[in-house]
Amino acid sequence: MNILVTGGTGYIGSHTVVELLNKDHNVIIVDNLSNSKYEVLNRIKRITNKVVTFYQIDVCNKDDLKEVFKNHKIDSVIHFAGLKAVGESTEIPLKYYENNILSTLSLLEVMKEFNCKNLIFSSSATVYGYQSVMPINEEATLSATNPYGRTKLFIEYILKDLCLSDKSWNIALLRYFNPVGAHPTGLIGEDPNGIPNNLCPYITQVAIGKLPYLKVFGDDYDTIDGTGVRDYIHVVDLAVGHVCAIDKITTSPGLVIYNLGAGKGYSVLEMVKAFEKATGRKIAYKITPRRAGDIGTCYADASKAYNEMGFKTIKTIDDMAIDAWRFQQNNPDGIK
């Protein structure tokens, strides 16, 4: 199959491209490199011994996208391209609405023009807003608490409306929980700009000595040790989930929605312990007040993806920590 991957040089995209190539799909990547490096393409080649076709274009640019569809007979699209930092989205909301929503509209229009109607969209557990009942299943009420989350929610509605209007679209909305870890080769992984916002890249930067200590945001939640609990999913498992979703949408029509998570939560301090074991180093931390907008516990009901696509995670939190640490050590200043 010829699969177009938008945002394919990014963190989740690059791991998914590797799994698609391992399954002998042809991959065409489009990415504007706003949050990733060209070097990722060389790394993908080193891991798979296969080449991908790459276009450095902005998905918002319909004319450029049309050229890609003219050059290749695209069977399915995985749409990762987007801006993803929650905090930044509250500072520059218009940029988030423009980039995330316009890129999706432009992609859909071009796909329609070229009669390519198989799509996987990167959604997020953020569309569940604040939930009190755990685990969260796909029927839970939806809401968003920040502009980034609202772009995901709006795009989900756009895709649902599209499927209602035209039954020939086959779309999967994949709601990721907390992707972490890196490829076991240490060649690709999460490569954040500046100080990381998310827990795992922050911990590895403490371990390598770039940051002095981890701030643990609150130890007074109603959880095993008072610190926040999340559903961490190894990025390679997550990538495999996309291969399952490609099989699903190309064999059964319509719109499907799946949580992609491990179905189990770990606390911040449990993650710190896993990283101490993986790194053989003490991770310094200080308990600080809760981060605004955080909830205590969030984990997925992952049974639907298993029952309907046969997808389940196999990697442990030790794998997540070991692989994230290998990537950090091999790339102390990120991918260059």
What is the binding site for ligand UD1 (CB under 6 A)? 86, 124-126, 178, 197-199, 202, 214-217, 228, 230, 268, 291, 293-294
13 binds ligand NAD (CB under 6 A): yes
Q: List b or e across 148-157, with b for residues whose CB sees 16 or more CB atoms inside 10 angstroms.
A: bbbbbbbbbe
Going from the C-alpha of 183 to that of each of 33, 63, 138, 249, 303, the distances in angstroms are: 20, 34, 28, 26, 25
Q: How far is the CB of 167 from ligand NAD (least distance, A)?
A: 26
202 binds ligand NAD (CB under 6 A): no
Gyration radius (Cα) of the chain, Å? 19
11 binds ligand NAD (CB under 6 A): yes
58 binds ligand NAD (CB under 6 A): yes
Q: Based on CB atoms, which residue is closest to ligand NAD, 140 or 287?
A: 140
80 binds ligand NAD (CB under 6 A): yes
84 binds ligand NAD (CB under 6 A): yes
Binding piece for ligand NAD, criterion CB under 6 A, among 63-71, 75-83, 154-162, 247-255: 75-83
9 binds ligand NAD (CB under 6 A): yes
What residues are labeled active site?
A: 148
Interface pick for ligand NAD out of 26, 76, 99, 259 (rule CB under 6 A): 99
323 binds ligand NAD (CB under 6 A): no
- Which residues sit at the interface with ligand NAD, rule CB under 6 A? 6-7, 9-13, 31-36, 58-60, 80-84, 99, 103, 122, 124, 176, 179
